[in-house]
Amino acid sequence: MPPLNLGNQQPRTPLSADDAWRANADRAAGTVLFFDFDGTLAPVGDDPTAVQPAPRVLDAIEALAPLVRRIAIVSARPVDFLRDRLGGLAGVDLYGLYGLEHSHSGGETVTEPAALPWVPTMAELAELARTELPAGTLVEFKRLSVALHWRTAPQLGEAVQEWGQAQADRLGLRVQGGRMVLELKPPVDRDKGMVIGEAVRDVNAAWYFGDDVSDIKAFAALRARAAADPNFLGVCVAVANPETGQEVADAADLTIDSPAALGDFLAEAARHLA
């Protein structure tokens, strides 16, 4: 794997991934590991409702959980979807819909109060999208957001994005781009960067694993924490892909080849931290 620079953005001696885990070993009990889901723990598929975690990923997370302070999934998916795909994995915090929902260690799902009034708007928007967008567009209604996918019909990308932006302007919504998807969200101040920024205030080390442009905000939150505290260890890890991979890799310290490779990487990490 390529070298990486840890901590803040001041010049440091490049370290390998193994060296990074070794540097983390004496602070494992104070470390949080954050993971995106789609494209990171699970490969992206044509049908977003059918994706499953890559082989070995859940076993590796289960092995890491008792060695670190927290493990959290921070995703655009709803909490219920994440809970189902993790197969009952215990002790993992779930942040769904970019932080509009959360569940800590298997507890109840809590929704950001400011987002709740937007549920009817999102339901109406999903129905409108199914009526007005061309065949081949997949409309994913997530209660607090609507995702418009064109993975199976790449030629529709421009038209879908134009329609989505027009609806966002009309309704006062926020837009989040991604890998062949445009997501429309309520105008509520929650994103992955805010989730990570809040969660790392009292920890001394954190890793974030992501693959898409929304994950760059999470990387920035780790870098801001490191800039404020030279004793904080923050590592930003990109999972490679042919769509947004280069942009995300340019913002990261380290790149992993795929979700499948992440399973092997985490298994090795468990051995270092143990």
Which amino acids are annotated catalytic?
A: 36
DSSP character for 240?
A: P
Which residue's structure tokens are 């061309």?
134
C-alpha span between 273 and 62 (Å, rounded): 13
> CB atoms < 10 A from the CB of 238, how many?
27
Distances (CA, A) of 262 to 40, 43, 258, 266: 8, 11, 6, 6
Which residue's structure tokens are 């890559």?
54
> CB atoms < 10 A from the CB of 169, how many?
10
List the strands of the sheet with 146-149, edge to edge.
Answer: 138-141, 146-149, 181-185, 174-178
User: What is the three-class DSSP state of 177?
Assistant: strand
Which sign does the torsion angle of CA 49, 54, 58, 61 carry? negative
Contact 187, 174 (CB under 8 A): yes
Phi, psi of 153 (to 5 degrees): -145, 70
C-alpha span between 185 and 164 (Å, rounded): 11
Residues 245, 246, 249, 251: what is their CA dihedral angle, to the nearest 10 degrees?
-120
Give the DSSP H or E segment for 189: none
